Structure 1
Amino acid sequence: MNAEDARPGGPRPEPGGPAVHPPALDAHLRIDRGAFRLDLPLTAAPGEVVALLGPNGAGKSTALRALAGLLPLGAGHLRLDGTTLEDPAAGLHTPAEDRPVGVVFQDYLLFPHLTALDNVAFGLRCRGLRRAAARAEALPWLDRMGLADHAGSRPGSLSGGQAQRVALARALAVKPRLLLLDEPLAALDARTRLEVRAGLRRHLAAFDAVAVLVTHDPLDAMVLADRLVVIEDGHVVQAGLPADIARHPRTDYIARLVGLNLYRGIADGHRVTLPDGLTLTTTEDLTGPAFVAFPPSAVTLYRERPAASARNLFPLTVAGLDLHGDQVRVDLTGPLPLAADLTPAAATDLDLTPGTPVWATVKATQTHAYPA
């Protein structure tokens, strides 16, 4: 992932800061479910796409259901365009059907007995339009999705990408002020996903209200969202622009997500001392708590200790190997557990197998240090 993947357009708040004021979405979602607690402040400006990113069980789906009105808040508030939709302290809870919210579910949940046109018209019918009027409003939405020729088709005859676009048209047809997308590309194969992601990106760029995307896929988040909010165990651990989060991860989960080795220690000039006493040399000059990150491609492996006086040199052991795109990802254990990426030819030349002892070097110029 890189900055070029980030979605163009839309408001660009400062990394980790609040959305442009006044926010169209102003929420603090607090829910207790058994031992799990969601405590999530969330704001967004008109036209902004915010991605909730996190591991399974982090609270993403709980947050989405709360925004939709399917799960009541225990505390906090939810305001949309200045209107309070939920305030437990005041005894206010607006039912889901009365909220100006559109939802695209992970499995789309199209009605199998209805045509594509009638699926899109369904929400309009629920808002009180007669059948003919609802169909008349629904047809242009299908046309925008490139599906006018499939208006009479039922979901069972549509491809995954076509079904996703019908679900999006159904959500947008009611002119929501908040669009919720729950893993909208998860049900698609890799080839279809690429095409549909590009289409969804265009539609979101033209959407003038707030969109909240829930995903565990970093590429979907990077391409589709203006801002990322990463949650773990029900709490925000990092928020900001996609490129900034990719460059400055603050938890192991985020580092793995963006493909970086990440360590935290105490900086004193160009050296960062880790909790176990190991030191990493960097080009940045810092003082105090700091992170050090570097990509697996920055690691060079040797079977024998290299003669070069590398500053960052560690004896490690191969724990496992896996194909990672067109590279071999080598997991290493020892004083500095890390991941290294090699070409298949290099991995063959080194004759690596689990248990093989190696020496790993990382140039200071290929590390990146920043305040913790």
Structure 2
Amino acid sequence: MTTDTDPSLDAHLVVDQGTFRLDLTLRVAPGEVVALLGPNGAGKTTALRTLAGLAALTAGHVTLGGTDLDRPERRVWVPTERRPIGVVFQDYLLFPHLSALDNVAFGPRRHGVDRRAAREQAAGWLDRMGLADHARRKPRQLSGGQAQRVALARALAVDPALLLLDEPLAALDARTRLDTRAELQRHLGDHTGATLLVTHDPLDALVLADRLIIVEDGRVVQEGDAATITARPRTDYVARLVGLNLYRGAANGLTVLVGGTFPLATAEQHHGDVFVAFPPSAVALYPKRPDGSPRNTWPATISGIQRHGDNLRVQLDGPVGVAADITPLAAAHLHLVPGQAVWATVKATETRVYPCSG
């Protein structure tokens, strides 16, 4: 937990851009990695730019280590080059005319370190990144994973109080991404400053971050560790992110009225406004109404079928819209096609119910 004396990030970012307003509070402790997650247009990039000093706040503040970097009401503004912040951009933005060594040495040189000492520091960072043999190579001679590590070394070489990572793995292919994610996790574990990871990839966030902040339409909609976020999503975006069907409804004992009309049986007693969630794997499909044990059963129409890992994800319209995951063999037996009428079922014991507040 941070305190007012911690050398950490304490920011209230208020930025007006036409009809869009970012209004976001961020606190990141030393050594902590926080992921800022959200759909396109949520305000993630705007937040990163204001922290880096590439855009100004409309109101609020950016305070790092107890020092104000941007506070409009006091007319405080510290330019980008004077902020103790390292940035790894999505496309890395390495200087194409400089070697890997001189790219990394650039930061220390800008901070007044002489050329020889800066290059010695850079060589040490490249060695830590496993790139000592690539010191003389230009960016065009590096692979995507190597370029990413050079960019990270360049950002860390200035010993930043805050490290900003803007979609750092997005430009990599799947195999390189896997290896580089593991490398990045190790280096972030050694970083003593605060780290903010901006990403749209839930796996990057879950693997790399200690805490997740979900933003939609410029505001925080959910915050917590991975277990909390995945167990209790609070918006459709977060539910899709963690692979759950999510509904809001009114609970009365063991029943939740969803959409004002559809009663969903649950296994937990609740009253009042609640969320009810269940995984697509909990949804079973039948060509006609099934008999048997009591369960939630309703008619539905297939609106789409997509491959999802080893299974097929079937989108269903009906009293409640729902996603179902079934095996290709089951789909073949059911002869599933878009527009087809089916029956969907979910056992009450497969549902998870929790209050909308708290």
Residue of structure 1 in register with 2:36 after alignment = 52
Helix, strand or coil at the partner of 2:292: coil
Tell me, yes or no, if structure 1 residue 21 matches structure 2 residue 3.
yes
One-letter amino acid of the counterpart of residue 29, structure 1 = L
One-letter amino acid of the counterpart of residue 175, structure 1 = D
CA contact (8 A) 2:221 2:234 kept: yes
Residue of structure 1 in register with 2:226 after alignment = 242
One-letter amino acid of the counterpart of residue 178, structure 2 = L
Report how far residue 282 of structure 1 moved: 1.4
Aligned mate of 2:94, from 95, 98, 110: 110
Determine the C-alpha separation between the residues in 1 that align with 2:275 and 2:14. 30
Residue of structure 2 in register with 1:10 after alignment = none
Helix, strand or coil at the partner of 1:283: strand
Determine the C-alpha separation between the residues in 2 that align with 1:218 and 1:211. 17
One-letter amino acid of the counterpart of residue 209, structure 1 = G
CA contact (8 A) 2:259 2:320 kept: no
One-letter amino acid of the counterpart of residue 346, structure 1 = A
Residue of structure 2 in register with 1:214 after alignment = 198
Tell me, yes or no, if structure 1 residue 141 matches structure 2 residue 125.
yes
Report how far residue 285 of structure 1 moved: 1.5
Tell me, yes or no, if structure 1 residue 268 matches structure 2 residue 244.
no
What are the within-5 Å matches in structure 2 for residues 164-313 of structure 1?
A: 164-313=148-297
Helix, strand or coil at the partner of 2:179: helix
Q: Normalized against structure 1, the TM-score is what?
A: 0.94
Determine the C-alpha separation between the residues in 1 that align with 2:2 and 2:85. 21
Determine the C-alpha separation between the residues in 2 that align with 1:133 and 1:25. 29
Residue of structure 1 in register with 2:71 after alignment = 87
RMSD: 0.9
Aligned mate of 2:110, from 114, 126, 130: 126
Report how far residue 130 of structure 1 moved: 2.0
Q: 5+ unaligned residues in a row in structure 2: which ranges?
A: none
Matched residue pairs, number?
Answer: 354
How much identity, in percent, do the aligned residues show? Answer: 64
Tell me, yes or no, if structure 1 residue 368 matches structure 2 residue 340.
no
Comparing 188-197 with 123-132, greater Cα deviation is found at 123-132
Tell me, yes or no, if structure 1 residue 354 matches structure 2 residue 338.
yes
Helix, strand or coil at the partner of 1:250: coil
Per-residue deviation, residues 190-216 of structure 1 (Å, max 9, x unmatched): 010000001101111111110000000
CA contact (8 A) 2:284 2:346 kept: yes
Determine the C-alpha separation between the residues in 2 that align with 1:307 and 1:264. 28
Residue of structure 2 in register with 1:162 after alignment = 146
One-letter amino acid of the counterpart of residue 106, structure 1 = Q
Residue of structure 1 in register with 2:62 after alignment = 78
Structure 1: 4+ residue segments shifted above 6 A: none
Per-residue deviation, residues 38-69 of structure 1 (Å, max 9, x unmatched): 00011111111111100000000000000001
One-letter amino acid of the counterpart of residue 361, structure 1 = T
One-letter amino acid of the counterpart of residue 286, structure 1 = H
Determine the C-alpha separation between the residues in 2 that align with 1:262 and 1:179. 34
Residue of structure 1 in register with 2:15 after alignment = 31
Helix, strand or coil at the partner of 2:68: strand
Per-residue deviation, residues 77-113 of structure 1 (Å, max 9, x unmatched): 1111111111100000110100000000000001111
Report how far residue 20 of structure 1 moved: 3.2
Determine the C-alpha separation between the residues in 2 that align with 1:310 and 1:335. 18
Helix, strand or coil at the partner of 1:20: coil
The higher relative CO (CA closer than 8 Å, separation ≥ 6) is in: 1
One-letter amino acid of the counterpart of residue 229, structure 1 = I
Determine the C-alpha separation between the residues in 2 that align with 1:272 and 1:97. 55
Determine the C-alpha separation between the residues in 2 that align with 1:131 and 1:83. 29
Comparing 302-311 with 44-53, greater Cα deviation is found at 302-311
One-letter amino acid of the counterpart of residue 240, structure 1 = G
Determine the C-alpha separation between the residues in 2 that align with 1:310 and 1:260. 22
Report how far residue 283 of structure 1 moved: 1.6
Residue of structure 2 in register with 1:12 after alignment = none
Helix, strand or coil at the partner of 1:165: helix
CA contact (8 A) 1:310 1:361 kept: no
CA contact (8 A) 1:266 1:288 kept: yes
Report how far residue 333 of structure 1 moved: 0.4
Determine the C-alpha separation between the residues in 1 that align with 2:299 and 2:334. 15
Aligned mate of 1:65, from 49, 57, 69: 49
Determine the C-alpha separation between the residues in 2 that align with 1:349 and 1:21. 60
Report how far residue 311 of structure 1 moved: 2.5
CA contact (8 A) 1:310 1:362 kept: no
CA contact (8 A) 1:321 1:330 kept: yes
